[in-house]
Chains A and B, each alone.
Chain A
Amino acid sequence: MTAVSWAMLLQFAFAGLAAALALLPAERIRSVLSGAASAVMSAVGVVTGVLAMNGVTGGLQFAVAVPAVPLTFAPDRLGGLFIVLASVIGLLVAVYGAASVRGASASRTAWFALPLFLMGMQLVPAAADAVSFLLVWEAMALGSTVLLLAEHAGSSRVSSAAVWYAVMSQLSFLFILAGFGVLSAAAGGTDFSALSAVAPASPPALLAFVLLVLGFGSKAGLVPLHVWLPRAHPEAPSHVSAAMSAAMVKMGIYGILLVVVRFFPGGPDWWGIVLLVLGGGSAVYGILQASVSSDLKVLLAYSTTENVGLIVLAIGASVLLTAHGITAAAGAAMLAALLLVVSHAVFKVTLFLAAGSVLHATGERNLDHLGGLGRRMPWTAAAFGIAALGAAALPISSGFVSEWVLLQSLVHGTRVGGAAVSVIVSIAMPIVVAVVALTAGLAVLTFVKAYGIGFLARPRSAAAAGAHESSRVVRAVLIAGAAGVVLLGLVPGPLATALVSVLPASGTPIVESAGLLGVNLPGLGAVLDPLVLVILTAVLASFVIIATLRSAWRNPQRIDAFAWGGGGERAQPRMQYTATSFAEPVVRVFDDVLQPARDVEVTHAGESRYLVNRVRFSQSVTDIVESRLYRPVLTVIDRFGVVVRRIQNGSIHLYLLYSFAAVIVVLVVATL
């Protein structure tokens, strides 16, 4: 029994406690006690993960009758990182949930499912063989499905979302099962160390790669397997959507890393290209949909697809560069992938929880009806704003550092020692840089929209005007998340070196801490030192601030009742730009990809063609992947169902005929 084993045992104990406390009758007590137990469980999970990241081995084994081999949970260093991630998110989410959820989301079932979901997530990276992996994977899927259904009585969209989610989860499970099945058959065992003995270029490994990427990609929310994401994330209770988006989709990433880092580190270069295409497509498609979405939680869900896309793109770049022997850039790309994973987890949990607070305070998640929340919810607005910096990859945030490392690795990927290495890489890298840049640009637009329309300007509805700040505990959780975003962006050095230590060791170091805890990529000759930049900015800012203060002292401001707006008091809050109008130019520019449905209805006054009584404009942007790819398949299945229904029409005569035919068939077969 090592420290890891003890910590994992404790986790199990607290998960059991949380599940037991969930059955208490009083809602408030249940929420506080069960939430607290889940939080403690996650805190212990952080310890487990940190120990595993530092190379402490050991774990738990459960001897069971079926299958004959015992279930093993023994995290390695990479697994440790993902345990830390899932646990930190679990901790924030459990505290937020305990402090804020009411009504249906605080039911016994929901509180029982939360530890199952969180524990499942914390165990997935600990699993050391295929069977235990699949088992906890299902526990995670089951727990999250139950949580997603918490509010099903209130809205029909919840049950529809849950059906999509459940089907996509099971589809993903089937692919993963098949992938592990193929590998196990070739390796003759289900242990991960046995699986990694299969040669990367052998047919079973190639088939398994395709199956596993499909399975894990669906969980991660890669286009075209993302359709469950924009449905499930908005409909789930906010703390659950935060956990799903920040932590659960990362388990899909962990799965892909398992394949390309742990099982087959030397995969062929087309694996990299497949991942680049999947990742790049998801990044651009996700952020485009996010930029035109007016629903705050749908916007965040699509932005998750974008970020997952960037992560997979970075992994793909690393695989491609490794296959072509460009090791320094490949290492940096892998570091970028891990940085993006951590950074996305931190800012996305904050964004979703802040969106939850907005939803709680106003009952609205449609940005077109929000506005002016910065004055009424200053803490929430600050946390959302800082996390949005991360999502838009602006300094000084974790998102900026990770995107900087990604761009550096891509830019230095074409040449080794000044000479071009391969044509494929030379063509791929500029395209990838352009994709990353377009994604970054649209992400800035998206989050300017989300923050600017939601938290600035004047309230666009009575609900937004009457918003109130959330409770102290909730505020503390939001501030903790936002502080994480800034801290990781300000002093990225220690995090980057810790992340590299979980990867298999290579000859030259990928990253070093430089300057004031900045990052240095020695293989690429690139240095980033955010703290020095901040100090420089502060010095320059002091001149501007002094000048402003002097001017403010002489000429104090005058507050006018109305914004000028070209029309003084006639400029009503209704006349402000909304999220929909903000995104209008993007919809126009990317008309072919988004294919919006527009409808303009003009009612004329009397008989005149020139006098307009009213104009009605409606526009909706649907997910074309869903309408073009999934709908036809669903229609075919539906038709098949209608046909099949005819053979089971309830007539007893028909059923007797079936039995008779079956007996005949059995007799015929038996006589052969």
Chain B
Amino acid sequence: MLVAFVQVALFTALAPLLVGVTRQVRARVEGRVGAGVLQPWRELRKLLMKQPVRARGSSWILRAGPMVVAISSLVLAALLPLVTTVGGRLAPGDLFVVVSVLLIGAVALALVGLDGGTAFGGMGSSRHMTVLALVEPTLLLAVYALSIPTGSSNIATIVDARLATPAIIVSPVGLLAMAAMIIAVMAETGRLPVDNPTTHLELTMIHEAMLLESSARDLAWLEFGSWLKLTVLLGLVGNLLAPWGVATSNDPLAVVIGMAAAVGKVLVLGAILAVAEVLLAKVRLFRVPELLAGSFVLAFLAVAVSAMVS
């Protein structure tokens, strides 16, 4: 129980840092100085101290939605085996539950976008929901493929099995499933090549368009929620790709090692992500389905192959 809260606290602290690191790496690769890795922290503090401005006619969704986004990410941080595979069993949850918690946050964000009553917000949530609907098959098939070697869709069990027999990770099935999973995670968290987190150009933006009507603490929760989601999902990808270091007991030493390993994996993945984003261009919105169809095929192959080669 306590370990799960340690994990949530760690990732809460880590999320702004991760975003700071990716921005800094990106800036350095592009030849800029960058604002420093602590800048997201300062932004959050600034936003929480400001007075929110809200449009007349906006409903409670504009106030509650951002909190739901943040809470859904916190629940993700509690459910997934990031620091330890023991804490993940706190609430009986599996990957389908995790996906549904992701969806709750996404829906709250889309409703916030619509509630402003402007063209930008609606545009953002429309695109966001379309991408989400198309990611869903890939994500669930990847989950299916990951669950086959262990016969369970419980994510902690899957990580445990990968730790015990690393051959699963490098098997063709495992690689295909991970490739599909990574594309799905990129789409889910609104990174390149699906969405550009730094743009404010109406033709291309998805995530940012939904935030335009939010200010102060509303904006803080929305930003924090999306940062935490990115961090947690990177943590998950890290533990699926390289499960070593994750704690398998509640032993304090193991937990500390687990925490260090989690921070390391997330930051390394964040840096890789930043470099990859410099090299990648955003694809056109209507080419996104093709990208997702590709990752769907990978996931489908993974399941079909693993089902036939037993």
Contact = CB atoms under 8 A, between A and B. Distances in A.
Interface of A: 291, 371-372, 374-375, 392-395, 400, 404, 407-408, 411-412, 414-415, 418-420, 423, 426-427, 429-431, 433-438, 440-442, 444-445, 448-449, 451-453, 455-458, 514-515, 518, 525-529, 532-533, 536-537, 540-541, 543-545, 547-548, 551-552, 554-566, 571, 573, 575-578, 581-586, 588-589
27 contacts: A372-B57, A374-B60, A434-B141, A437-B141, A438-B133, A438-B137, A448-B125, A448-B129, A452-B125, A453-B114, A456-B114, A515-B92, A529-B92, A532-B91, A532-B92, A536-B90, A540-B8, A544-B67, A544-B71, A552-B217, A556-B51, A563-B116, A565-B117, A565-B121, A566-B119, A577-B122, A582-B126
B22 interface: no
A444 B56 contact: no
A585 B285 contact: yes
Interface in B103-123: 103-104, 106-107, 110-111, 114-123
A615 to B, nearest CB: 16
B249 interface: no
B272 to A, nearest CB: 28
Contact of B53 (A419, A547, A560): A560
A444 B100 CA distance: 11
A563 B286 contact: no
B148 interface: yes
A597 B253 CA distance: 65
Contacts of B58: 563
Given A433-B144, A437-B140, A545-B67, A557 B119 contact: no
A404 B216 contact: no
A304 B141 CA distance: 25
A585 B56 CA distance: 29
Contacts of A415: 148, 151, 307, 310
Contact of B104 (A395, A455, A585): A395
Nearest to B110: A448
Nearest to A436: B140
A589 B127 CA distance: 11
B164 interface: no
B52 interface: yes
B227 interface: no
B50 interface: yes
Interface of B: 8, 48-61, 67, 70-71, 74-75, 78, 90-94, 96-97, 100-101, 103-104, 106-107, 110-111, 114-123, 125-127, 129-130, 132-137, 139-141, 143-144, 147-148, 151-154, 202, 212-213, 216-217, 221, 285-286, 289, 296, 300, 303-304, 307-308, 310
Question: From DSSP, what is the main secondary structure of chain B's interface residues?
Answer: helix
A529 B117 contact: no
Contacts of A440: 136
A453 B122 CA distance: 9
B32 to A, nearest CB: 27
A441 B125 contact: no
A434 B300 contact: yes
Contacts of A573: 117
A449 B107 CA distance: 10
Nearest to B129: A445
A566 B121 CA distance: 10
Given A457-B122, A555-B217, A563-B213, 14 more contacts: A394-B103, A394-B107, A411-B147, A412-B151, A433-B303, A441-B135, A441-B136, A444-B103, A536-B91, A537-B71, A541-B74, A548-B67, A565-B117, A565-B118
